[in-house]
Amino acid sequence: MARPLSRRSLLQAATAAVAVPALSQAATGRAAAAPATAAAGAPSAWSVRPFGLEDVSLGQGVFADKRKLMLDHARGYDVNRLLQVFRANAGLATGGAVAPGGWEGLDGEANGNLRGHYTGHFLTMLAQAYRGTKEQVFADRIATMVGALTEVRAALRRDPVVLGIAGKFGAAADQVRGSHQYVDLPATVLGGAPAITFSLWVRPTHDADWARIFDFGNDTSRYLYLAARNQAGVPRFAITTSGAGGEQGLNGTAALPLNQWSHLAVTIAGGTGTLYVDGTAVARNTAMSLSPAALGTLKNNWLGRSNYSADPVFAGAFEDFNMFSRALTAAEITELQSRRTADASTGRGDLASYAFDETAGGAFADASGRNLTATLRRTWGGPSHPGFLAAYPETQFIDLESRTTSDYTKVWAPYYTAHKILRGLLDAYTATGDDRALDLASGMCDWMYSRLSKLPEATLQRMWGIFSSGEFGGIVEAICDLHTITGKAQHLALAKLFDLDRLIDACAANTDVLDGLHANQHIPIFTGYVRLYDETGEERYLTSAKNFWDMVVPHRMYGIGGTSTQEFWKARDVIAGTISPTTAETCCAYNMLKLSRTLFFHEQDPKYMDYYERALYNQVLGSKQDKPDAEKPLVTYFIGLTPGHVRDYTPKQGTTCCEGTGMESATKYQDSVYFAKSDDSALYVNLYSPSTLTWAEKGVTVTQTTRFPQEQGSTLTLGGGRASFTLRLRVPFWATAGFRVTVNGRAVPGTPKPGSYVDVSRSWRAGDTVRIAMPFRTRVEKALDDPSLQTLFHGPVNLVARDSATEYLKVGLYRDAGLSGDLSASLTPVPGKPLHFTLGGREWVPFAEGTEDPTHAYFRRAEPHVVFGGRDSGVANPAKTDGTTLLDEIWAGAPFGNKGALVARVRFVVNAWVTAGRLSRTDGDKVVATAAAASYQP
């Protein structure tokens, strides 16, 4: 009897579809019909289901080694740094935490307009780490982050509250950078005074130009302001009735020190204005004909905000702000350096006086006697719905709704960022059962629905089609996963609001429209559409995703499984023509794996798992540097495939999308090793990786012992009780040298076909042992648009040459080729270094090794002479106009059963080339004679 499922179990089953995926070539096999009911809470459309990360433990090997490095980072990084941007946006104290920087801060690319995304990635990493290891430290860190985000949302829901901190003499009001808060003073604050003094203490915490300490004005024509820094980096006071061109100003002589208190005063009287800094007059203007009386009553009287919308909000603290209807003397201003205004001979300002410790919530009491209470406000007002949660104002989402062109300095993928936060919260709930995380996730979707459901269809289609700004990542998948537990109709309706119809319809019709598209903006869309198919049964979603996958693999795929160049796709089948230092964005591999995995749940075509193995064992493993670092995840953004490329494991300015997905990848390596048929009648072994599966439904364990890919095979040992099921073992597409299976020492009959699954059905019992042998062959894969540009594989392992040259290496491989077509004889193993070889005087190593050595993933194939078995015929190797050589065409017929079959192939091809005029008869006879005289390995 099926056990009842909690909502958390349902989410674990649904979110199991978000692991690391795979790619392949020539494969066979079709999916079984979807069962009427789903096992273990998986969607009923799935004919197979994954196991949870807690059900599969990693054994010793390359995956465990790479994961350990990332787990150390997960334990060591201060999560308060991630939370800083959320707390600041909500106007909460940040405890002195420093934002991570790069994309996750206010000073990085595009002023951190993507901030918040990295927190979502980090939550997902912690959740996966906890599920995979059960170390309490990860659960504790999740609880800290979820608790903080709960506080952030509560703060965003209410009016802002002043942050009181220790000031120069008493309490001060702190304006955390990124809070977008300011103090709003009443309209009559200037009082029409013909003479005036402004006096206050400030402690700036950032050196942004033109951040206003105060700005009183109507717009950008009539105003007066005091800026902490002008374009020269010094304080500036100015007053105007005719815009910037008519400003009468006072400029300081030195920058205000950061994180220190400075006293500023400005006096205007009788046509003379003076600026004082720390009691010293630093500027005087005797031609200042304007005074507050000339401005009249102004509507925008602000501390910390400018009437110029592009200017930054002041970051720092205020204390003891006073306005007098006269010009204080130099002596009075000197006195204010050592005591509060209330305790000085001046007394408190008669126009306005704010001590900032005299506050209730967000209201500041005025002690001038005029009752001009000031109010703390947000520049953007506040969220449109109580479920809003972000590390920046809602303004990016609002701007996107009217935006027609991309400008990531203004709007940078707000729904992509929302997705990462949503996904992280769902994963946190899945891992720990913290209902606060689920509540936050559900609230975010309620908020999104409240915005998007009101927009016309044409607006939504325009939004989602805008490069970068309209990117929404895998949000549809996350919303569907949430829907499996909330059951709220509006959540499913929300998922459908992200339909990008022109892309769905084109791919459903199998029309390739990918040329010119931003790759990672679109790959995760389709994983979401597959989940929408699961929830709605609408075939176009699944059909479009399957056709889309086929447009990428192999037509836009590099040998390592990656795709894209400079983040974009080019024309179909253009591989050599797109190789650059910025090929193979790591996020693309992450999302192609996820899509491959999700498609496999519906149709068990081995090509999906063949691809998964390719991208996982090469690009994904190779994207993580083999080096510990608690501060950085050390993951590539791009992996350049140009000659002599050196991988950059600290890309751009840090905290990039690819570092985020890299953290996730390294904590879920085990997620696709095993799948179960939905009715538990079969177990799929997709990857050969040291691991132990606990299959609770069957009451058995499966322990896989292997050093794969160093070992060319694997051993599976059954434990637990007796159980009947079919073991489905993946036969990789590259396993052309044979795939042999024994059970308890007895051979399983048959000749498994590469690119398929082999079935072993029996009643299993503890101690049963399955051994798999799959000898590796060495082969090349050719660029689709240039067959002479090739990449080398040994079994599943992409081999790269270590060489600092910046031109393609010229490599010959046919000299010692065996009858099977195996090129292994060209490689000389390096003693004591598995999967390291020498060839052409260079060392060739697995792509997965995360070093900073210059490498060559692609090389130029050079076979100048026709050589067989080490014998040189003396004949130049001719080529067709497309680059295919005589030797290429001969060896394309491999494998050969014996030497006679090879010689027959040589004779056949030679005759065809002679007839076509590409080879003389004399040279052709030499080629045939050399092939007949040579000796060959099998």
Give the pLDDT mean for 26-48.
Answer: 52
Q: What is the pLDDT of residue 33?
A: 29
Residue 36 has pLDDT above 80, yes or no: no
Largest CA distance in the chain: 114
pLDDT tens across 828-846, in order?
999 999 999 999 999 999 9
Residue 640 has pLDDT above 70, yes or no: yes
The DSSP letter of residue 786 is E
Residue 607 has pLDDT above 90, yes or no: yes
Q: Which residues pair with 497 in a beta bridge?
A: none
Tokens of 767: 């101690």
Q: What is the pLDDT of residue 25?
A: 28
User: What is the rounded distance in angstroms from the CA atom of residue 396 to the CA atom of residue 374?
Assistant: 28
Other Cβ atoms less than 10 A from the Cβ of 664: the count is 28
Domain 181-378, what fold? Jelly Rolls (2.60.120)
Give the pLDDT mean for 434-447.
Answer: 98
Q: What's CA 161's distance to the chain center, in Å? A: 34
Give the pLDDT mean for 452-457.
Answer: 98
pLDDT tens across 766-779, in order?
999 999 999 999 99
CA dihedral sign of residues 758, 759, 760, 766: positive
pLDDT tens across 708-741, in order?
999 999 999 999 999 999 999 999 999 999 999 9
Question: How does residue 9 score in pLDDT terms, banded at 50, 70 and 90?
Answer: low
Contact (Cβ atoms closer than 8 angstroms) between residue 622 and residue 847: yes
Q: What is the pLDDT of residue 27?
A: 31
Across 907-935, b (16+ Cβ under 10 Å) vs e yields: bebbeebbeeeebeeebbebbbebbeebe
Q: What is the pLDDT of residue 26?
A: 29
Q: What is the pLDDT of residue 23?
A: 27
User: What is the rounded distance in angstroms from the CA atom of residue 80 to the CA atom of residue 77?
Assistant: 9
Residue 521 has pLDDT above 80, yes or no: yes
Query: What does pTM read for this prediction?
Result: 0.93
User: What is the rounded distance in angstroms from the CA atom of residue 802 to the CA atom of residue 800?
Assistant: 6
Other Cβ atoms less than 10 A from the Cβ of 784: the count is 17
User: What is the rounded distance in angstroms from the CA atom of residue 401 to the CA atom of residue 186?
Assistant: 33
Q: What is the pLDDT of residue 11?
A: 58
CA dihedral sign of residues 660, 662, 666, 670: positive
Question: 3-state DSSP call for residue 861?
Answer: strand
Contact (Cβ atoms closer than 8 angstroms) between residue 854 and residue 644: yes
Question: How does residue 15 score in pLDDT terms, banded at 50, 70 and 90?
Answer: low
By the 10 Å C-beta count (0-12 exposed, 13-18 middle, 19+ buried), 709 is classed as buried
One-letter amino acid for residue 739 of the chain: F
Residue with token string 């699961």: 534
Question: Cα Rg for the chain, rounded, in angstroms?
Answer: 34
Question: How does residue 882 score in pLDDT terms, banded at 50, 70 and 90?
Answer: confident
User: What is the rounded distance in angstroms from the CA atom of residue 28 to the CA atom of residue 733?
Assistant: 9
Q: What is the pLDDT of residue 360?
A: 80
The DSSP letter of residue 620 is I
**Phi/psi at 723 (5° precision):** -160, 140
Kindly list the domain boundaries of the chain, sorted by start residue.
181-378, 674-773, 867-938
Domain 674-773, what fold? Immunoglobulin-like (2.60.40)
Q: What is the pLDDT of residue 34?
A: 29
Tokens of 41: 């809470």
Give the pLDDT mean for 443-451.
Answer: 98
Averaged confidence pLDDT in the chain: 94
Residue 568 has pLDDT above 50, yes or no: yes
Contacts of 398 (CB under 8 A, 6+ apart): none
Give the pLDDT mean for 602-609.
Answer: 98
Half-sphere exposure of 26 (CA within 13 A, CB side): 7
Residue 436 has pLDDT above 50, yes or no: yes
Residue 363 has pLDDT above 90, yes or no: yes
First to last CA, the chain: 54
Q: What is the pLDDT of residue 4?
A: 36
Q: What is the pLDDT of residue 14?
A: 54
pLDDT tens across 220-269, in order?
999 999 999 999 999 999 999 999 999 999 999 999 999 999 999 999 99
Residue 862 has pLDDT above 60, yes or no: yes
Q: What is the pLDDT of residue 653?
A: 85
One-letter amino acid for residue 61 of the chain: G
Question: How does residue 532 score in pLDDT terms, banded at 50, 70 and 90?
Answer: very high
Give the pLDDT mean for 577-581.
Answer: 97
HEC readout, 359-405 = EECCEECCCCCCCCCEEEEECCCCCCCCCCCCCCCCHHHHHHCCCCC
Question: How does residue 16 score in pLDDT terms, banded at 50, 70 and 90?
Answer: low
- Of 34 and 255, the structure prediction assigns the larger pLDDT to 255
- Of 10 and 624, the structure prediction assigns the larger pLDDT to 624
Question: How does residue 20 score in pLDDT terms, banded at 50, 70 and 90?
Answer: very low
For the chain, give the number of residues: 938
Residue 28 has pLDDT above 60, yes or no: no
Residue (of 95, 101, 83) closest to 149 by Cα position: 83
Residue 286 has pLDDT above 90, yes or no: yes
Give the pLDDT mean for 306-320.
Answer: 96
